[in-house]
A and B are shown apart, each in its own frame.
Chain A
Amino acid sequence: MFTKKVLEKTTEMLKEWQERVSSAEGAEIKDAATASGIPLKPVYTPRDIEDTDYEDISIPGQFPYTRGFRHLPYTNDGWMMRQPVALGSSKDTRERMEYLERLGWRLFIGQEEENELFIQNVALDIPSQQGYDPDAPEARGRVGQDGMSLSTMWDLDDFYEGRDLERTEIFYASPDGQLPCLAQFLVYAEKRGVPWEKLRFKVSNLWYHSWYWDAAGYPPKHALKLGPEMISFFLKGFPHAQVASVTGYNPGEAGATPVQEVAFTLATAMFITEECVKVGLNPDDFVPRFYGHDHTNLDLFETVAKFRAKRRMWAKIFRDKFGCQKPESLRLRNFPQTGGSLLHRNEPENNIIRVAIMALAQVLAGADGVWAASYDECLNIPSQKAAQIALRTSQMLFYETNIANVIDPLGGSYYVEWMTNRVEGEAQKLLDEIEKRGGYLKCWESGWFRSQLSKEARRWQESIEKGERVVVGVNKFVVDEEDHSPMFRVSQDVEKERIERVIAFRAQRDNEKTTAALDALRAAVERMKNEWPESCGQVMPVMVDAFRAQCTIGEAQGILKDVLGYGYTGHG
């Protein structure tokens, strides 16, 4: 990439630099490393990337997409504002969404008014995610507390009435509960007379999530069927549906280093693809509809390098391993989230700054979306004020800093290009190790992935406890350990109202019809369990029928858990 002359001159200058450093008093070079443990030098030069093939850096919008997918800067089409809003009942959530919309919250920042789209990024409360209606004993104390409670069609009436479904991108965060909540939504859209092909979705499809945390409803051998089931359903008749999320966020929160995140998410994407091929799908049909949801670390430059390295690796893997032809298959659109585990409860206002730096990293890395979290994320679900500040963070980055005008501003930096290569190299070693250990499914079932994350989580925590890693106001410069910030809480009354409502819903429907539809669903799920992959594509349509017959989220999810999972005891 550099002429011989430049390299020779660099060596000469580096020598001078070295001499100056060695002769200066107190100028010893301290050990430094990235969040992944990659050792750092104080300065980088052309020598550090002399072997890099310029075609591997390339130009924005061109293979291998190291510099991102865009031909034009953010100022042309904005970035997606991925902030989540979810609390209490669907009415409470809607109220918060509409408040933020008055402040300019849209799907894309910087869009002209006539093209405006809206975003719904709703996390369900845990009972709804796990398939427990509000009146199930498992739900006690948790209804609407940590996300939106969703159970019946009435909740969707409250949520969407008068809102333009065709101009809203729908997303429900509910890893194991995707099939029921999207089936219910489709029936709602049908009721409203909105054709399904007009709907915009991100299907969360995180059925594989037990490799990085406990909270999964199905053993791997059955979980792996739910991905292709949803993907094959949404490929037909839903041109605006992104069919599967490849998440690095939750692994990152469980302890994954940026390097591990790259390797493990790529391994996940390859596995999903292989499972879909087994049911007869063609990668070029569904891979363009994958989307990424990555973690963001406070290690700014390693984070930028992580996104760049992952884009390059993705492009090469899907071209070379899967023979993808479409350029869209080689581009994983990524909607990262700022790391919640990097926020702290001492002096919580400091988190506003931490989030801003992570959001800046997302923009500098060329992410397709910016998810700036609320500063009180480590205390409670966001207060309205904190949600407002998170939105303002994204808006200030776009409108006030002048960083949206130039694509991949760090491209060509000796340091960033070197780091990009290094992250790629380290991640490739891990991918090779996964292969050596028998592949993705083996590493998932044996708990190897989990053990790797736990080890890193421990290393991180210990370095904070020992003071090797400074967290300002937490383990250094601590002035006041008392937390005086106001705490936001959803009223416990929500639970009572929600229980009454689901009971009233069940009382007004034709229960015989509902039971028959649920029996048909059970039969379809049994077939999925016993006759795979031939039965692929049979569950989702029957589940839609069950919601036409007014079943609840708990009832539909309960059947999935009972047949494919570890059992189900919720009533309803």
Chain B
Amino acid sequence: MDMHDKKRIKVLLAKSDQDAHDRGIRYMAEILQDAGMEVIFIRYRICDQVARVALEEDVDVIGLSFYSSGYSYDVPVVLKQLKEKGKAVKVVIGGIIPSDEVPKLMEMGVSGVFGPDTPTQEVIKCITA
């Protein structure tokens, strides 16, 4: 991914309407803004909206948050749609993701999976790497 030092990193944070508990993603929105990034936060009804917004807003990074099992359906769809549109975006996941799911998600092309106890610096490091 082409991310010049001087360019402000643009992040789309997204959480499904069919999900609950937004404490984590709202906290991350503040942390990423404080780290100098531009943050857009949406709640989506169906996951097709994520890739669409990512293209419209021309973001560098997508952060998806799940407290529910919705990741199992949404993540592959988002990755596939981004690929179809030829959009190179780094995708990171946060929330309650069972640890044995992490290797599968990484293999699919996700750049990082973070839980409630992950230090935020690790998330920033992953985004800016």
Binding site for B on A (CB under 8 A): 126-127, 130, 132, 137-142, 145-146, 213-215, 253-255, 341, 344-346, 378-380, 454, 457-458, 461, 464-465, 471, 474-475, 482-483, 487, 489-490, 492, 569
Contacts and interface: CB of A to CB of B under 8 A. Distances in A.
B20 interface: yes
B27 A141 contact: no
Interface pairs A-B: 5 shortest CB-CB:
A141-B73, A145-B69, A487-B98, A483-B99, A146-B68
Nearest to B22: A214
Given A126-B68, A141-B72, A345-B115, A458 B27 contact: yes
Nearest to B41: A214
Given A345-B99, A345-B117, 19 more contacts: A126-B20, A130-B18, A142-B70, A145-B68, A146-B69, A214-B22, A214-B43, A215-B17, A215-B20, A344-B116, A378-B116, A379-B96, A380-B98, A454-B27, A458-B27, A465-B119, A465-B120, A475-B117, A487-B100
A206 to B, nearest CB: 12
Looking at chain B's contact residues, is the secondary structure mostly helix, strand, loop, or mixed?
A: loop
A50 to B, nearest CB: 40
B17 A254 contact: no
Contacts of A341: 23, 116
A569 B45 contact: yes
Contact of A138 (B17, B43, B96): B17
A489 B46 CA distance: 22
B14 to A, nearest CB: 12
B114 to A, nearest CB: 11
B74 interface: yes
A378 B45 contact: no
Interface of B: 15, 17-23, 26-27, 30, 43, 45-46, 67-74, 96, 98-100, 115-117, 119-120
Looking at chain A's contact residues, is the secondary structure mostly helix, strand, loop, or mixed?
A: loop
Given A454-B26, A458-B30, A465-B119, A127 B72 contact: no
A346 B46 contact: no
Contacts of B18: 126-127, 130, 132, 138-139, 142
24 contacts: A126-B68, A140-B46, A141-B71, A141-B74, A142-B18, A142-B73, A145-B68, A146-B67, A213-B20, A213-B23, A215-B22, A255-B23, A341-B23, A341-B116, A344-B117, A345-B115, A345-B117, A380-B98, A454-B30, A457-B26, A457-B27, A458-B30, A465-B119, A489-B69
Nearest to A147: B68
A130 B23 contact: no
A567 to B, nearest CB: 9
Contacts of A569: 45
Contacts of A457: 23, 26-27
Nearest to B101: A487
Nearest to A485: B99
Query: Which of B18, B19, B73, B74: most chain A Cβ within 10 A?
Result: B18
B45 A380 contact: no
B100 A142 contact: no
Contacts of B30: 454, 458
A207 to B, nearest CB: 15
